[in-house]
Amino acid sequence: MTVTTLTLALGLPGVVLAETGAKMDADGDGMVTTSEFEQAHPEADPNTFATIDANGDGALSAEEIEVAKADGTLPEMDSEG
């Protein structure tokens, strides 16, 4: 693996989160916590976060967000979110 490939592979999840979850990731740490999710999606069912959090670590990764968007689990962001 080249340095460029490794850099891209390590950086890509952050890019995906920037595109899909930046509005939810209030502190910019690259993960979306329960409180960040609830603030962005106050109308969401209380179990939605747990459903999206496939590995159960209490934070949504870029991959989990992408899967949730693809399968329709992730609610649409409102225009103010």
Report the distance separating Cα 74 and Cα 69, nearest Å: 5
SS3 (DSSP) at 59: strand
pLDDT for res 3 = 43
pLDDT (0 to 100) of residue 22: 75
- Burial of 68: CB neighbours in 10 Å, binned 0-12, 13-18, 19+: buried
Q: What is the pLDDT of residue 23?
A: 81
Query: pLDDT value at position 4?
Result: 41
pLDDT means per 10 residues, the chain with 81 residues, are 43 47 86 95 93 96 94 73 44
Q: Is the pTM of this model over 0.75?
A: no
Residues 6+ apart with CB under 8 A from 12: none
Cβ contact 41:75 at 8 Å = yes
* pLDDT score at 77: 67
